Structure 1
Amino acid sequence: MFTFFRCCILPAIKLYWLGFRVLLGQLLSKTFKLPDMPKQEGKVAIVTGGGKGIGFEVTLHLAGLGAHVIIGGRDEQQGLDAIARIREVYREAKVEFQTLDLGSLQSVRHFVQSFKKRHLPLNILVNNAGIMLAPEGRTEDGFEKHFGVNYLGHFLLTWLLLDNLKQSGTSDCFSRVVNVSSSAHCIGDLKLSDLNSCEYYSAHAAYCRSKLALLLFSLQLQRVLRAGGAPVSSCAVDPGMVHTALYQHMWAPLRLAQGVIAQLLFWTPKEGAATVLYTSLSPALEGGRAEDYWANGRRQMTSPVTSDPQLQLSLWETSMQLLGLQ
């Protein structure tokens, strides 16, 4: 009974308590406003989950600056609707949709193969798509859904696109990888022997674990890029508590309350996208300075466990093995 409480009930309590503290912090702090960013003509960006929420706002802004933006997502109609909405604002926007199911490694590989055939540059990769508190289930390849979609799919996508990112970056204009993590990483735990949550399943713990894994990946990726002298930077962003569809799997009574509270107190998707865009575009972060972990327009401290280089490396190596990569 105690083990069930510790593994299944306690993570939920921790996550909702964290949510309360984050929301209070948002209410007491000044919301970051994105400054004017330079034009992005000739640059290409990929935004996963760019058809709705924060991803849509990121795509809209990038397209408005002249970037060629590719939305990667599962729902084609949602993607096409997003394109139509963007072109109502920017008639000449270079934006398109390409199917990408992060819960299918085959889909990720197909997405990358299709992209590479076009011989386009790749200047910005925003790993934004994600799920939260989904019922227990497995991806097409047998991984726990949060781990597979939020983390492992993005790991494979980034790895397969690294050559494109490196070739597109220069010493004075780095390519950028922006991973949308969460403050939930700080209450996540990572057991390398049970990344698929086989021992005990908690949707709350699985979500926090996936966001911790994504942050660890982002930090390790930066170490690898810096060591190799590649003109690419990697960072992770906490967009804050934002009024999006991400909370649809919350417990029903809490979901009803959250809907009311979100409309009144949460940040809008545009406000949540501001730091994602800042780390993707700001000239002040050029030359590899767009790294580490960001929230509300500023670098932030992460939980102590994320600073463990051995854990970063171990997760990296384990992920490579799971994905069958060299």
Structure 2
Amino acid sequence: MAMISQNPFQLTGRYAERNKWEVISGPGDSRPTGLQIIEDEGLIGAMSNKVVLITGVSSGMGPETVRAIASTGATIFATARNLDKAREALGDSLLETGRVHLLFMDQTDLSSVRACADEFRQQCDGKLNILINNAGVMKTPEGRTKDGFELQFGTNHLSHFLLFYLLKDLLLASSTPGFHSRVVNVSSVGHRDGPVRFDNLNLEGEYDGWAAYGQSKTANIYMATQIERLYGAQGLHGLSLSPGSFASPNLQKFCQDDMDAAQMDERMAKYFTNVQQGCATSVYGAVSKDLEGKGGLYLEGASVAGPVLGDYDRVEYGYNEWAFDREKEEKVWEVSKKLVGVE
């Protein structure tokens, strides 16, 4: 893999220095964990009046995101398609606190998303402060959701768009002067694999797993930025992020050879984190006081990222040139509304 020669460091914030290539050394290095973020923010037990909804908690960084946020004392609703797997991943000690509640949601089926939103409303006492759209699939074989959408675009973007749209009134109503509501979309450095193909969202006749993943992750960014544009002045903010790379056998089951090869590369091996560090940027986006009242930002390394510049490879920090584009953000919003059937 080509080394970087002329790319300025593109992260800012209290954890930025820990992400510099001169100091990172792989899983367990000085980059923060999700729990460290909570501790550094002074939020252990301090958010008992907040309600958080997190999708995709049966594997990967989902369970670790729940654990970190749970340390704040917040009430958490966590979704999964396989509830038994989610229970095993979270563990009895966390579930028995009575503050973490599991909800069934199959994100390949929009009727299931609607049912989950209804169930959430019945249990949340009219409050939702933070929505973390974490669930995702990666480089899947060509397939369709139950509603006929390309599997990755439908699962990674459209299901989350619908969930947000059905619950946005709660997010708006729950915002307070001291803590504005937040929507945190887990995108990926994979957004560089492709822009949104408005002319062929299903990639009919030209399917490529990474291109499909890329457009779904670009759509995650567009959605978060458009949330900020539409609702930021009302105290509801949208943020997107890349969590970095870490071993996640379930997420990476269709690209394990790619992941194995990446970890054989010296530069990539340094870039990888463990899963506790992998959830840190989501946690940072959800709770950091540095981000209070802010949105429309792309986060990496528990920091705010700028555009990637100069010569770069897949893991250099920063967002691609097409990641922020008002016309396309507005277009993906309107197209998504039509596809999921909301007004």
For the aligned pair, the TM-score class normalised by the smaller chain equals: 0.7 to 0.9
- What is the deviation of 1:43? 1.1
Is residue 130–residue 150 contact of structure 1 (8 Å, CA) maintained in 2?
A: yes
Task: Decide which of 289, 292, 298 is 1:293's aligned counterpart.
Answer: 298
1:171-186 alignment to 2 at 5 Å? Answer: 171-186=177-192
* Counterparts in 2 of 1:134 and 1:160: CA distance versus 1, 3 Å: same
**Does the CA-based 8 Å contact 1:83-1:95 persist in structure 2?**
no
- Which runs of structure 2 are paired with 1:307-326 in the superposition (5 Å)? 307-326=324-343
CA distance in 1, matches of 2:225, 2:258: 33
Alignment of 1:153-192 (within 5 A): 153-192=159-198
Structure 1 residues 155-203: Cα deviation after superposition (integer angstroms, max 9, x where no partner): 1011111001111111221111100001111231222121111131101
Aligned to 2:103: 98
Which residue in 2 is equivalent to 1:8? none
Equivalent residue, structure 2, for 1:212: 218
Pairwise CA distance, 1:255: 5.2
Aligned to 1:303: 320
Residue 78 (str. 1) matches residue 82 (str. 2):
no
Tell me the equivalent position of 2:236.
Answer: 232
Q: Distance between the aligned counterparts of 1:97 and 1:254, measured in 2?
A: 32
> Would you say the 8 A contact 2:191–2:217 is kept in 1?
yes
Partner of 1:54: 61
Report deviation, 1:17: 8.2
Partner residue, 1:247:
252
- Alpha-carbon spacing, 1:106–1:28, altered in 2? closer, same or farther (3 Å): farther
Counterpart of 2:311?
none
Which letter does structure 2 place at the counterpart of 1:324? G
Per-residue deviation at 1:121? 0.9
- 1:260-319 alpha-carbon deviations (Å, 9 max, x no partner): 779886211110111111110112221x22541000022112322232211111111111
The counterpart of 1:135, out of the listed 133, 141, 155, is: 141
Question: In 2, distance between residues paired with 1:91 and 1:64?
Answer: 14
Which of 182, 195, 204 is the aligned partner of 1:198?
Answer: 204
Can you give the 5+ residue segments of structure 1 that lack an aligned partner in the other structure? Answer: 1-15
Q: Distance in 2 between matches of 1:17 and 1:272?
A: 24
Task: Verify the 8 A CA contact 2:246 2:274 in the aligned structure 1.
Answer: yes
Task: Report the residue type matching 2:158 in the other structure.
Answer: L
Residue matched to 1:41: 48
Cα 1:137/1:99, change in 2 over 3 Å: same
1:273 to 275, 279, 285: 279
Larger RCO (CA within 8 A; separation ≥ 6): 2
* Cα distance between partner residues in 2 of 1:100 and 1:199: 30
Distance 1:260 1:68, change over 3 A: farther
Give the whole-Å Cα distance in 1 for the aligned partners of 2:106 and 2:332: 22
Question: TM (normalized to structure 2)?
Answer: 0.81
Query: Hey, which of these two has a bigger chunk of helix by percent?
Result: 1
What percent identity do the matched residue pairs reach? 31
SS in 2 for 1:216: helix
CA distance in 2, matches of 1:86, 1:27: 37
User: How many angstroms does 1:52 deviate by?
Assistant: 2.0
Name the CA distance, whole Å, in 2 between partners of 1:311 and 1:263. Answer: 35
| 1:121 counterpart residue number | 127
Aligned partners of 1:85, 1:52: CA distance in 2, in Å?
16
Aligned partner of residue 192 in structure 1, secondary structure = coil
**Contact between 2:63 and 2:90, CA under 8 Å: does it hold in 1?**
no
Counterpart AA for 2:50: K
In the superposition, relative to structure 1, how do residues 45 and 161 fare at CA in structure 2: closer, same or farther (>3 Å)?
same
Contact 1:242 1:266 in 2 (8 A): yes
Asked whether the equivalents of residues 55 and 132 of structure 2 are also in contact (C-alpha less than 8 Å), the reply is: yes
Change (3 A) 1:17 1:214: farther
Amino acid at match of 2:198: L
Q: How many residues align?
A: 300
Taking the aligned partners of 1:314 and 1:290, their CA distance within structure 2 comes to 19
